A and B are shown apart, each in its own frame.
Chain A
Amino acid sequence: MKRNKSNLDERQEQTLLRIEHNGCWLAYWGLLAVMIIQIILGVDLENLAGEQIVFMLLALYISAGCWKHGIWDRRLKPDLLSNTVISLIAAFITGMLGFIHTAREYPDKIFGSIAVGIVYAIMAFAVGFVLLQFSAQLLKKKQSKLEEELPEDEEE
């Protein structure tokens, strides 16, 4: 089916893209916040399946799109330091959530809850760090490939 011609001019198109961009991040962080709040409130993880699926699809779509175009982030670089810091932040949040969730379920086992939090944090750090490092390597390969596809710079 032939697509209708756009009703928007280039400025309106840019404005709409900006609105959609904000909407996308609102949905992304909103979903994350909703999931965190529900975990803190003690909702079973099985009941968060819908949110998790949408969140993961959104994350996968953004990651795949960025990888395809050789983009990492506006401000962060795909280096060891950034990846370590991001993984540590993720580990802290996951650890805290693990602790809170377990402490709510077993209020009399506080040390057990702390141990669960620590295990969650270690696991989140390991998975996050490995994934980030692996993605950084993939991205560097993609960037080299994109560079090769460009026509030769005549001045060089």
Chain B
Amino acid sequence: MRNLKLKFRRIELEMSQTKLAEIVGVTRQTIGLIEAGDYNPSLKLCIAICKALDATLNDLFWEDGENEKK
């Protein structure tokens, strides 16, 4: 399941995948895979991403019922 919330928030802040990856200390590929829903990050990385994007875990990683079915 793609993580569009993360992608939209990053775009909202005009931040590239490379920049976000640099801030949280991972590769751009990892950010790409998280956004594509192909990699489940650790809680530690989720928190780092939330801090970098000034958002909460709920904002970026919580899926409501409708999205979970997709």
Contacts and interface: CB of A to CB of B under 8 A. Distances in A.
A18 to B, nearest CB: 12
A10 B27 contact: no
A9 B32 CA distance: 13
A12 interface: yes
B40 to A, nearest CB: 9
Contacts, number: 19
Interface SS majority for chain A: helix
Interface range for B: 10 to 19
A5 to B, nearest CB: 10
A12 B45 CA distance: 13
Contacts of A12: 27, 30
Contacts of A9: 25-27, 30
A9 B44 CA distance: 12
B61 interface: no
Interface string A87-113: 000000000000000000000000000
Pairs of residues from A and B, 8 with the lowest C-beta to C-beta distance, nearest first: A9-B26, A11-B30, A11-B39, A9-B30, A9-B27, A10-B42, A10-B45, A11-B33
Interface of B: 25-27, 29-30, 33, 39, 41-42, 44-45
